[in-house]
Amino acid sequence: FKITESSKYLVSRINIKGIQEKSLREKVYQALKSKVGQEFNVTIVDEDLKTALEVVRNEGYYFAAYAEKNPKKIIQVSNASKSININLSFNLGRKSFLGDLIVTGNLETKDIVVKREIRLDKGKLITPKLMNEYVGRLRTLGLFARVDITPFLGNKINENSSYLNFIIKVKEKNFNKAEIAPGFRTDLGYKISSSVSFNNIAGMNRSLVAKIQTNLRNSYSYLDDRRRRDENDRLEWLAQVKYIEPYLFGTSVEWDFGVKYQRKRYSGFDADILSISPSLSKQLTDKITASLEYEYDVIRQYDATQEEDDDRFKIGSITPSMTFDFRDDPTAPTKGAWFNLSWEFANPYFASQDDDDLSINYNRAIARNYFYYPIGKIVLASSLTLGMEKNFARDGLFDSDGDAVLDSDGEQKTRGFIPSLKVFRLSGRDLLRGFSDDESNVLIDGTDVSDIIVRNTAYLVNFKLESRYYLSDNSVIALFFDAGRVFNDSVRFFDLKTSAGMSFKVLTPVGSLDFDYGVKLHRERFDNGGRESFGRFHLSIGQF
């Protein structure tokens, strides 16, 4: 078609032919960016044609096509009246309903593993959108190097509809693997790990993973003053076994069972921790997932600076959580949002410790919220994490004379408190870039959070903002601003620690590898006249 350059043409009519259903015609019209009475924009014609066809196909007309493909007949131009008629003529074909799935190429994987991911009963309306989501789910199983689908018409249901069958051709990966991974992390120091994975056990996508890891930190900065002076070098290590059953008893509920034994160094003590953690999770919709985890920890803490930390603990807890995922891409999101709320309940009903001198009874709630907004070639990414934990074993302790039992700070001891390794810290996914562990985890009065006993409440606030520019499909450069702090008893949002800096990210299938350098925006002074460091480099696995 031909229009006169520099002249404005208005859309006079949009004619939709070949569709008898009034509601479907209206859906097509509403989906178009071109509107009657508005100025014609030639740059959105192709997008409108594609959108209109997608709307029709996703109403069950799987093989719908344009009956008229001549551009001059689709866009009719009147230079005299400077008007445009848009003519969309469809050949719908029959409505399609799911028929049979025929699986090929699966040498070890059972057919049911492939078929159950369709999540649609035979005879239900089938659309290209649903099949694309199905193929996406098959690929995320991690079992197949390649997945191809070929649709073909099956038996007629009536004159206007028929069954649509699919050939699902897969190419399987090597299911079992072993790896050794030496490396360095700014939070863990020098590390080496080894893992063995047995995947697709019995051809049912069951997995068993065993992992061992050890690390040696390269500084004492994360330790409190007493332990820093001792300069004791101790290896940290972890041994873990995890079993995953993706369809428990043939349902769409995933069951995980993990056992972990680790030695870990904290600011005020070292700890040996045995954890047993079965969990259930279910994807309620394509955007919503619910999970329920039980965890039982047996903890031996030693080399502790505080008396209360030099002890053994048994913590039994149950944690329900909900996740809402509205991102366009889970590995490299450019728009949308992600929300998670988890609430841990630890008390004697779930096998937590309940002795005469110590009862473990606390709640721990964490809300994580990620947002992504594209602005041209820049993606604005932000993260807001809020946490609160509260001790409910708050009855005061008294000696045999009826006098209150006091701790080293002169406060009355309570029957229970939140174990130090369960108290919030800005580390891991809540890392405050530009700060070392000992710098970020201090309270407003300068006390390290590990040097106090939380008998009432503790809080965590962490905010991150990044402007991301994608250099390629697997590399990103970004400027960032971080703000966060841990609090005891009350929150003061205007006293957050802040930093800014630059990040380079290498995108991988399991997340991004982040190289960050952050600069403190306010360097606090110490009682001895010194100041916090200028900034810090971080090498970590990206979390949002």
| Per-residue pLDDT reduced to its tens digit, 39-96 | 998 889 999 999 999 999 999 999 999 999 999 899 999 888 889 999 999 999 999 9
Q: Phi and psi dihedrals of 41, rounded to 5?
A: -120, 110
Smallest CA-to-CA distance from 110 within 143, 154, 139, 158 is with 143
Mean pLDDT of 503-526: 88
Mean pLDDT of 1-14: 73
The whole-angstrom separation of Cα 130 and Cα 27 is 18
Do 176-541 and 95-172 have the same topology in CATH? no
Mean pLDDT of 125-131: 94
- pLDDT on residue 5: 52
The DSSP symbol for 81 reads T
Q: Are strands 65-66 and 95-104 parallel, antiparallel or unpaired?
A: unpaired
Q: 95-172, superfamily in CATH?
A: membrane protein fhac (3.10.20.310)
**3 has pLDDT over 60:** no
- 528 or 401: which carries more pLDDT confidence? 401
Strand partners, 263: 237, 272
Which of 196-210, 364-378, 513-527 is the least confident region? 513-527
- 412 or 49: which carries more pLDDT confidence? 49
Q: Quote the percentage of the chain above a pLDDT of 70.
A: 97
Smallest CA-to-CA distance from 246 within 75, 398, 110 is with 110
Mean pLDDT of 146-150: 95
Mean pLDDT of 473-499: 94
Paired tokens of 161:
């509809």
Mean pLDDT of 471-477: 91
Mean pLDDT of 425-440: 90
Q: Quote the percentage of the chain above a pLDDT of 90.
A: 72
- pLDDT on residue 211: 97
Smallest CA-to-CA distance from 501 within 484, 483, 516 is with 516
Mean pLDDT, the chain, rounded, equals 92
Which of 26-35, 337-346, 404-413 is the least confident region? 404-413
Largest CA distance in the chain: 105
**379 has pLDDT over 90:** yes
- pLDDT on residue 1: 53
The whole-angstrom separation of Cα 509 and Cα 62 is 31
Mean pLDDT of 228-255: 94
Mean pLDDT of 277-291: 95
CATH topology of domain 10-91: Ubiquitin-like (UB roll) (3.10.20)
**294 has pLDDT over 70:** yes
**24 has pLDDT over 70:** yes
The whole-angstrom separation of Cα 169 and Cα 106 is 8
One-letter identity of residue 228: R
The whole-angstrom separation of Cα 266 and Cα 309 is 11
- pLDDT on residue 6: 55
Mean pLDDT of 182-211: 92
The DSSP symbol for 225 reads H
Looking at domain 176-541, its CATH class is mainly beta
DSSP helix/strand/coil, 184: strand
Mean pLDDT of 11-26: 93
**4 has pLDDT over 60:** no
**Is 523 in contact with 531 (CB distance < 8 Å)?**
yes
The whole-angstrom separation of Cα 286 and Cα 173 is 26
Locate the domains of the chain by residue range: 10-91, 95-172, 176-541
- pLDDT on residue 106: 95
Q: Are strands 206-216 and 236-245 parallel, antiparallel or unpaired?
A: antiparallel
